[in-house]
Amino acid sequence: MNDTYTPINEVGEFALIDRMKAVLDAPEDADVLAGIDDDAAVYRIDGDRVHVVTTDALIEAVHFDRVFMPMEYLGFKALSVNVSDVLAMNALPRFATIALGLPDNVSVEMVEALYRGLKHAASAYDVTIVGGDTTAARFLTLAVTVIGEAGEQNVVYRSGAQPGDVLCVTGDVGAAYAGLKVMLDQRRAMQDEGTAYQPNLEPFHYVIQRQLAPLARLPIVQDWAARAVRPHALIDISDGIASEVHHLCTQSGCGALIHAATLPIAPETHSVADLFAEDVDTYALFGGEDYELLFTLPDDDLEKLDPESFTAIGLMTEASEGVSVQMPEGDIIPLPFTGYQHFEEEE
Ligand SMILES: [Mg+2]
């Protein structure tokens, strides 16, 4: 034992994970194809089949506030974020287990509502919930494990991007962060004005739904398989485009140039950024929790994709060129490696 005490927020989430890996010092296992460094672990089960496994927890007061997160949505989101990590390996989700930590201010009916949300998501993603664990806890916690399957040759890692690849994203980005901004603002108003305050969330329906009930992009991955398209590299957007592009570049040994003017941003997200007098490109690049898929593929493969299903937002470059963004005004600036990281100190 040693007596050193390093506060976790001094090193941050990613350095902490490196420290954990150093302790495990896992020996090489020929059946393990991906481990801690990707969206999900991948290992061979039989012949050319692989399992893809991921676990993500949602913790009260860290990931959600019960005032704004109805139990059904919480269940739906908890499964969605895990399914998204399986899809981010180009695999299909199959089975899930649920570990619940329940404080004494959660009722049986609330747990049933949570499970209705889990069931709704399970049927949307064709996932079977096969078990889990239930325990007492200080805060409501929900840890979900999802197991997916794929052919070994079909798995796509973060590490496959090549200079010259086009960088693409599904759906739109920044909306989940806009939804969070609106909800935090409404909570502040309720605290300031008391119970008489009547929140009007109707104009913000789209962005709030993107925050509370994100839909993982299963149909996109199914469509790629139907069209026999396999991206070079793939990651899902949980911490924001900037952070995810840096992960792709680090693991692929590439650089990237993003064209901010091409970022797909919903009109509702623009409205929220205008309301708070903030830059909507910041929401799109650094806001997290969109659960869209970010992928790279060669120019020639773009025409094989459904043109409605993605937006090309940049190009992969040589590592020496770094990771940068061309702003709508034309200037090119380095893209900082920031996004949502746990254990960072609050400003
Ligand atoms: Mg991920």
Cα 207 to averaged position of ligand 1 atoms, centre (Å): 21
Instruction: Answer yes or no: are the C-beta atoms of 248 and 296 closer than 8 Å.
Output: yes
**Phi and psi at residue 303, to the nearest 5°:** -70, -15
Helices 218-226, 71-87: axis angle to 10 degrees equals: 30
In whole angstroms, give the CA distance from residue 129 to residue 123: 10
pLDDT for 317 equals 98
In whole angstroms, give the CA distance from residue 130 to residue 144: 11
Tell me the per-residue pLDDT of 262-314, one tens digit each, with 9 for 90 and over. Answer: 999 999 999 999 999 999 999 999 999 999 999 999 999 999 999 999 999 99
Ion ligand 1: residues, CB < 5 A: 39, 85, 236, 238
Cα 313 to averaged position of ligand 1 atoms, centre (Å): 19
Number of alpha carbons in the 13 Å side-chain half-sphere of residue 246: 13
Q: What is the CA radius of gyration of the chain?
A: 20
**Confidence class of residue 1 from pLDDT cuts 50, 70 and 90?**
low
Classify residue 68 by its DSSP letter: T
Cα 235 to averaged position of ligand 1 atoms, centre (Å): 6
Tell me the per-residue pLDDT of 11-62, one tens digit each, with 9 for 90 and over. Answer: 988 899 999 989 988 778 889 998 887 889 999 998 899 999 999 999 998 8
Cα 293 to averaged position of ligand 1 atoms, centre (Å): 9
Cα 83 to averaged position of ligand 1 atoms, centre (Å): 10
Query: 263: which 2 tokens?
Result: 């970022």
Cα 130 to averaged position of ligand 1 atoms, centre (Å): 23
| CATH node for 158-334 | 3.90.650.10
- Provide, rounded to the nearest whole percent, the portion of the chain with pLDDT above 70: 97
Higher-scoring residue by pLDDT: 67, 216: 216
Cα 161 to averaged position of ligand 1 atoms, centre (Å): 16
- The Cβ of residue 303 has, within 10 Å, a number of other Cβ atoms equal to 7
* 345 has a pLDDT exceeding 80: no
pLDDT for 75 equals 96
C-alpha triplet 123, 54, 133: angle, nearest 5°: 70
Cα 263 to averaged position of ligand 1 atoms, centre (Å): 20
pTM over 0.85: yes
Instruction: Answer yes or no: are the C-beta atoms of 88 and 247 closer than 8 Å.
Output: no
Cα 39 to averaged position of ligand 1 atoms, centre (Å): 4
Query: 333: which 2 tokens?
Result: 């600036």
Amino acid of residue 205: H
* 109 has a pLDDT exceeding 70: yes
Task: Write the CA distances from 165 to 26, 129, 212, 242, integer angstroms.
Answer: 33, 38, 33, 17
* 344 has a pLDDT exceeding 80: no
**Confidence class of residue 3 from pLDDT cuts 50, 70 and 90?**
confident
Alpha helices in 48-174 (DSSP H): 71-87, 108-125
**Confidence class of residue 2 from pLDDT cuts 50, 70 and 90?**
low
* 343 has a pLDDT exceeding 70: no
Q: Give, for 98, the enclosing helix (H) or strand (E).
A: strand 92-102
- The Cβ of residue 334 has, within 10 Å, a number of other Cβ atoms equal to 9
**Confidence class of residue 194 from pLDDT cuts 50, 70 and 90?**
confident
pLDDT for 346 equals 42
Classify residue 67 by its DSSP letter: T
pLDDT for 29 equals 87
Cα 270 to averaged position of ligand 1 atoms, centre (Å): 25
Cα 192 to averaged position of ligand 1 atoms, centre (Å): 36
In whole angstroms, give the CA distance from residue 236 to residue 220: 12
Query: 172: which 2 tokens?
Result: 């739109």
Cα 262 to averaged position of ligand 1 atoms, centre (Å): 23
Tell me the per-residue pLDDT of 218-276, one tens digit each, with 9 for 90 and over. Answer: 999 999 999 999 999 999 999 999 999 999 999 999 999 999 999 999 999 999 999 99
Mean pLDDT (whole number) for 160-179: 97
Where do the structural domains in the chain lie, given as residue ranges? 31-154, 158-334
Cα 158 to averaged position of ligand 1 atoms, centre (Å): 10
Fold of the domain spanning 31-154: 60s Ribosomal Protein L30; Chain: A; (3.30.1330)
In whole angstroms, give the CA distance from residue 10 to residue 94: 38
Averaged pLDDT score across all residues of the chain? 93
* 347 has a pLDDT exceeding 50: no
Cα 92 to averaged position of ligand 1 atoms, centre (Å): 15
* 164 has a pLDDT exceeding 50: yes
Cα 256 to averaged position of ligand 1 atoms, centre (Å): 19
195 exposure class (CB count in 10 Å sphere: 0-12, 13-18, 19+): exposed
**Confidence class of residue 73 from pLDDT cuts 50, 70 and 90?**
very high
pLDDT for 50 equals 96
Cα 188 to averaged position of ligand 1 atoms, centre (Å): 30
Mean pLDDT (whole number) for 59-81: 91
Cα 2 to averaged position of ligand 1 atoms, centre (Å): 34
